[in-house]
Structure 1
């Protein structure tokens, strides 16, 4: 048995489990076995599976949405923010995100967070695009299109390879940059 695992160890293990085996296998015993700890460790951190799910979803939203948004905002160059957003989105755990989206169909708490993350991502991308595309309605349409491409790619391919991602998002980037060039 391991002497100490952190919440982040549980969350990383859950992301891997979701990506490889799906939400149906996200159980206390499975997580503890993967981390080589007793269930007492799990209950000490989370109290219950519902407590774990709540904290896990907060972790996922922070790491895969809020953190990316902060990193993108660190650049002062509006065009660089567009490129940084694309690079960072390429690194999200696509298979785990696809599993979370499927899980949202059967778990109301997951559904609420999934919808909030989607809305947050649309707003964040719209803000990035609005810095280079002055027409707010067009920036919104392109943001919705970008998020839809991401979700569609995650649902279409497993695993999402760099070639798959580039095929879709290089074209999206070209479309956005062409719109920027038009003025």
Structure 2
């Protein structure tokens, strides 16, 4: 049994546990067992449960920006940014995110982090959609629709429903492009990249 693991290993394992068992299943004992360490390692890194929760939520929030940077977001114009957002959305840990949303209903610290993530996503997606659509009112509606689709998919997936996120994102792409003047039809970089 290793004496310790990195903070990131704890966070990745915590997201796995959240995806598998929901927030009630995430405990110090379960986390340490999954990491193969004793609770002493956990307390060394985080001091206790509240410190761990804050650090986990910071990791989850920061990860969104890191993944966007890895996708060269902001460097190729609205259409490239939209394709990057679709790839990011497809790759999110959806069951873990659904568990975090359920957890947010029960704990203020988690609720505040969830609100920040939702607001950041709405702002980021809204800016990209606005750049494609051009009309502020339509962009706001289409952005809200995308967020509702994502949250709905995550809730259905966590309940064991079989929804194909790729198909949903393709349909969302067609919707966005139907409101975007000057784009060549409904196909997108996201669809072409997903199919290769």
- TM-score scaled by length of structure 1: 0.92
Residue equivalent to 1:92: 92
Aligned length in residues: 181
Mapped pair 1:112 → 2:123? no
SS of the residue corresponding to residue 73 of structure 1 reads: coil
Q: Distance in 1 between matches of 2:14 and 2:174?
A: 35
Mapped pair 1:21 → 2:7? no
Residue equivalent to 1:49: 49
Residue equivalent to 1:171: 171
> Which consecutive unaligned segments of at least 5 residues does structure 2 have?
184-196
Matches within 5 A, 1:134-149: 134-149=134-149
Q: Distance in 1 between matches of 2:72 and 2:120?
A: 14
Cα contact 2:46–2:52 (8 A) shared by 1: yes
Cα contact 1:154–1:160 (8 A) shared by 2: no
- TM-score scaled by length of structure 2: 0.86
Q: For the aligned residues, what is the CA RMSD?
A: 1.8
Residue equivalent to 1:129: 129
Residue equivalent to 1:155: 155
Residue equivalent to 1:59: 59
Cα contact 2:23–2:100 (8 A) shared by 1: yes
> Which consecutive unaligned segments of at least 5 residues does structure 1 have?
none
Q: Distance in 2 between matches of 1:103 and 1:39?
A: 23
Cα contact 1:72–1:85 (8 A) shared by 2: no
Give the Å deviation of 1:180. 1.0
Q: Distance in 1 between matches of 2:6 and 2:54?
A: 16
Give the Å deviation of 1:160. 7.5
Give every structure 1 segment of 4 or more consecutive aligned residues whose post-TM-superposition deviation is greater than 6 Å.
none
Change (3 A) 1:126 1:164: same
1:53-97 CA distance string (max 9 Å, x none): 00000001111x222443352431321111111011100000000
SS of the residue corresponding to residue 75 of structure 2 reads: coil
Q: Distance in 2 between matches of 1:140 and 1:181?
A: 16
